[in-house]
Amino acid sequence: MPLQLYDKEKILDACFHVFAQYGYANTSTAMLADAAGISKALVFHHFKSKKDLYLSVLDRCIEKGRIEMGFDTLLESQDFFEAKEKSSIIKFNYYKNNPNLMRIMKEAFYATPDELKIEIQDKYGVLLTNNEKEWKRLFEKVSLREGVDREQAFRLVMLTLDYFDNKYLSDVENSDDLEETYLRDFLEQRNGFLSMIRFGIEK
């Protein structure tokens, strides 16, 4: 591996831990350079700005998660709700084992710093849209009652799932020891909400 590329990878590894610990806004270029063990000038030889460096770290997090969680294969499932439950279990275990990556992903997409909102929307908006299209394609296989608008049904389900995703990320961040009982209770509560949507609440 060429020395310059190797150095760049080492910078990303070091800065990943700093951003995860302190967040984007509270991280200074001096902190990043100190963590990487190099001068600020050398950091910016590889990256144009702190913003560019953060987005490069985020790119690596997304690619790492996509490969290691295997969502591309999961979306080949025949059942939408089964696939969603499997994805929750995969994310639970993955983020539990990779808390720093989880912190960066949560900040980037659930508490986006004002300075990064435009760049993240421009850079990852298409990715998020395509991901939703894949889930919508799987939802097409769900049999609906006559008169139910499929788009509205999909949006209602996704809003519910987003609520539980946010709840889960908050719980994970505020506890260092979430056991399997938490996952079981979490899925039971989430699936209860989904059952009410699927089967109705009126007697």
pLDDT tens digit string along 109-164?
888 999 999 999 998 888 888 889 989 999 999 999 999 999 999 999 999 998 99
Q: Output the pLDDT for position 32.
A: 93
* Between 53 and 89, the higher pLDDT residue: 53
Distance (Å, whole) CA 152 – CA 159: 10
- Mean pLDDT across 59-74: 84
- What pLDDT digit, counting tens, does each position of 82-101 carry? 888 888 888 888 888 888 99
Give the lowest-confidence range in 48-62, 95-109, 124-138, 161-175: 161-175
More confident residue, 169 or 9: 9
Out of 19-28, 59-68, 171-180, least confident range:
171-180
Residue 175 has pLDDT above 70, yes or no: no
Q: How do residues 5-21 score in pLDDT, each as one tens digit?
A: 447 888 899 999 999 99
pLDDT at 177: 64
Residue 42's pLDDT band, with cuts at 50, 70 and 90, is confident
- Predicted local confidence at residue 2, as pLDDT: 44
Are 46 and 7 within 8 A, CB to CB? yes
- With cut-offs at 50, 70 and 90, classify the pLDDT of residue 1: very low
pTM of the predicted structure, to 2 decimals: 0.79
Packing angle between helix 29-36 and helix 3-22, nearest 10 degrees? 130
